[in-house]
Homo-oligomer: A and B are copies of this chain.
Amino acid sequence: MAPSQNVSTTLARRIEESAGKHSVFEDAARTLPIPVCSEVLGQDGRIRPVVFKESVTILKCKDPEGAEKTFSRTMARHRNIVLEAVPSETLHQVTGKRVAVLFSGGPAAGGHNVLAGLKAVLGKNNTLLGIRKGPKGLLNGDVFEISTEGIKKVFNTGGFDFLGTDRTKIKTPEQFRKVKDTVLKNKLDGLIIVGGDDSNTNAAFIAEYLEREGVRCSVIGIPKTIDGDMAVGDLLPISFGYDTATKVFSELVGNLNQDAASAVKYYHFVKLMGRTASKITLEVALQTKPAIALISEEIAEKNLSLDQLVDHIVRIIAERRLKGINHGVVLVPEGLIEFIPEMGRLIKELNKVLAEYETDIKDLPTLKNKQEFIYPRLSPQSAQLMASLPEEIEETLILDRDDHGNVKVSQIETEKLLIEKIRYKASEMKRHTDRYFGAGEGKIPATPDQIEKFKSYTLSTQSHFLGYEGRSGKPTAFDAAFTFLLGLTAGSLVLDERTGYMAAVTDFDKGGRILGLPLAGLIQCEERKGKEELVIEKSLVRTDSPSFQFYAQHRDHWAREDLFSSPGPIQHWGPTARQLPILVSLDQGYEDFTTFNLGAECHVEFE
Contact = CB atoms under 8 A, between A and B. Distances in A.
Interface stretch (A18-26, A274-282, A314-322): A18-26
A256 interface: yes
Contacts of A252: 252, 469
A11 B565 contact: no
A491 to B, nearest CB: 22
A358 B380 CA distance: 44
A304 to B, nearest CB: 22
A575 B28 contact: yes
A58 to B, nearest CB: 19
A470 B565 contact: no
B11 A165 contact: no
Give the number of copies in the complex. 2
Given A3-B549, A589-B6, A589-B8, A566 B157 contact: yes
Contacts of A565: 18-23, 26
A418 to B, nearest CB: 18
A571 B571 contact: yes
A157 to B, nearest CB: 7
Contacts of A387: none
B256 A468 contact: yes
Nearest to A266: B468
Q: For chain A, which range describes its interface: under 10, 10 to 19, 20 to 34, or 35 or more residues?
A: 35 or more
A10 interface: yes
Interface string A529-566: 00000000000000011100110001000100101111
B1 A593 contact: no
Interface in A131-157: 133, 157
Interface string A14-41: 1110111111111011000000000000
A76 interface: no
Contacts of A313: none
Contacts of A473: 251, 255, 258, 566, 568-569
A111 B258 CA distance: 12
Given A16-B554, A571-B571, A158 B258 contact: yes
Given A107-B262, A157-B566, A573-B571, A561 B23 contact: no
Contacts of A566: 21, 23, 25-26, 157-158, 473-474
A164 B264 contact: yes
A257 B575 CA distance: 29
A350 to B, nearest CB: 25
A268 interface: yes
A594 B570 CA distance: 19
A4 B545 CA distance: 9
Interface stretch (A197-205, A339-347, A478-486, A579-587): A579-587
A12 B19 CA distance: 44
A567 interface: yes
A26 B472 CA distance: 25
A60 to B, nearest CB: 16
B25 A571 contact: yes
A144 to B, nearest CB: 15
A472 B255 contact: yes
A546 B262 contact: no
A417 interface: no
Nearest to A590: B11
A159 B262 contact: yes
B19 A558 contact: yes
Contact of A1 (B28, B158, B544): B544
Nearest to A586: B7
B549 A586 contact: no
B568 A29 contact: yes
A575 B123 CA distance: 31
A522 interface: no
Given A546-B3, A589-B7, A28 B133 contact: no
Nearest to A585: B11
A332 interface: no
Contact of A11 (B18, B572, B593): B593
A12 B586 CA distance: 8
Contacts of A570: 569
Contacts of A471: 255, 259, 262
A166 B263 CA distance: 7
A591 B264 contact: no
A159 B266 CA distance: 14
Contacts of A6: 546, 586, 589
B545 A3 contact: yes
Contact of A263 (B107, B248, B470, B568): B107
Given A586-B7, A594-B24, A256 B15 contact: no
A430 interface: no
A117 B473 CA distance: 34
A161 B462 CA distance: 18
Contacts of A16: 554
21 contacts: A1-B545, A3-B544, A8-B589, A10-B591, A14-B592, A15-B286, A23-B567, A25-B567, A25-B571, A26-B566, A103-B262, A107-B259, A159-B258, A255-B470, A255-B472, A259-B471, A268-B468, A462-B468, A474-B569, A571-B571, A573-B574
Q: Which 9 A-B pairs have the closest CB atoms?
A: A573-B574, A25-B568, A159-B258, A569-B569, A160-B262, A161-B261, A259-B472, A3-B546, A258-B472
Interface of A: 1, 3-4, 6-8, 10-12, 14-16, 18-26, 28-29, 103, 106-107, 111, 133, 157-161, 164-166, 248, 251-252, 254-256, 258-259, 261-264, 266, 268, 286-287, 289, 462, 464-465, 468-474, 544-546, 549-550, 554, 558, 561, 563-577, 579, 582, 585-586, 589-594
